[in-house]
Every structure is written in C-alpha cells, then in structure tokens.
Homo-oligomer: A and B are copies of this chain.
Amino acid sequence: MRTQDILSKHPNPSQNLDQIVALVNSAFACEQCCTSCADACLNEDGDMDLRYCIRTNLDCADICATTGRALSRQTQPNVQLLRAQLEACRIACDACADECEKHADVHDHCRVCMECCRECSDACRSLLQAMPQGAAA
C-alpha cells in the first residue's frame, strides 16, 4: 500500500494524516482478510456452525471497503458522515473479531482474521478520537 505517499500529495492534505493512513491500510487489509476467511470457512468440514462467522465476515468486508474508500478522499470532508461510517466500521470489526475468536484455536484463518479485525477496530477508535466532533477531518 502506498497510502501515506499518495495522501500526502493531495493539494489540501488532511489533518490527522497518520491516523487516516493507519485506518485506510487497516480497512483494506481487513476487507481482504474477511473475504478470505468467509471463503475458507465455507470449506471447513468440522462440527462448528460457521454460518454467522461467514455472514459477519461478508458484512465486515463490505463495510471496511467503504470506510477505506471514504477516508481515502480528502476533499472538503463531512465529519458527521465520516464519523458515522467509522462507528459502523468499528462495530463490524468488533463483531467479526469476537466471532472469529471463538474458532481461532481450531481454524488458523479465523485467528488471522481476528487479528486484522482488532487492528482495524483500533484504527477506527484512534481516528474517531483524533477527529474533532464538529471540525474538518
């Protein structure tokens, strides 16, 4: 990912650039992990019911993708909109990490996915903290 490089070349670069870069990188990595975890879960033959894990992986992948894209834009940011999407992303990542954690001992892909989700959830929290409630991103 060249996120840091390209975001810093914007004519009007954002405040909080370090937290934005961390969030964007984590969000795309989490989209990738969740997509692969859903696909791997589909092929597990054990006794565990992985249906909720797959569903939450798919939701989390889509939500991370959208959040990573929205934070990749720096034109006149709408803070209320971005905060709401970051909040949805944090909740999706927490839900997916909690579910993957239940299967982390048995399925290695769930352990990797749990780590991706925790990282992205932390990045959401850091950016939400850095971004003032009513000021520009």
Contacts and interface: CB of A to CB of B under 8 A. Distances in A.
Interface of A: 1-3, 5-7, 9-12, 24, 28-29, 31-33, 35-40, 42-45, 51-52, 54-56, 58-59, 61-63, 65-66, 68-70, 72-76, 78, 80-81, 84-85, 87-88, 91-92, 95, 107-109, 112-113, 115-116
Nearest to A62: B66
Nearest to A28: B28
A112 B1 CA distance: 11
Nearest to A99: B78
A56 B75 CA distance: 9
A37 B72 CA distance: 9
A66 B68 contact: no
B32 A42 contact: no
Contacts of A61: 69
A108 B74 contact: no
Contact of A69 (B9, B35, B37, B109): B35
A134 to B, nearest CB: 14
Nearest to A80: B91
Contacts of A66: 62-63, 65-66
A110 B54 CA distance: 19
